[in-house]
Amino acid sequence: MSIGRIIKGLIKHMKKLFRSTTDKSLGGVCGGLAEYTNSDSTIWRLLFVALIFAPFPMIFMYLLAWIIIPKN
């Protein structure tokens, strides 16, 4: 089996990141991250809220993710 076939097989079975259309409070970014990582969306929301007060403005990261990540 060639490496090319192995890589194509792995890419075919990779999960894709989408914004959630069912588990959303604002744009579905945290819900999408929770679905992608099989975790609770509340953890992602708390993390984003906590990081708003970090030196790097997390609100801009959230808005950027809202724009970049497609809907499911």
User: pLDDT tens, position by position, for the chain (72 residues)?
Assistant: 677 777 777 676 677 888 988 888 888 999 999 998 999 999 999 998 888 787 777 788 888 899 998 987
27 exposed, middle or buried (CB, 10 Å; 0-12, 13-18, 19+)?
Answer: middle
Q: Look up the pTM and report it.
A: 0.66
Report the alpha-carbon distance of residue 24 to residue 1 in Å, rounded: 43
Domain range annotation of the chain: 15-68
Q: What percentage of the chain reaches a pLDDT higher than 70?
A: 92
Report the alpha-carbon distance of residue 15 to residue 38 in Å, rounded: 11
pLDDT number for residue 39? 92
Q: What percentage of the chain reaches a pLDDT higher than 90?
A: 21
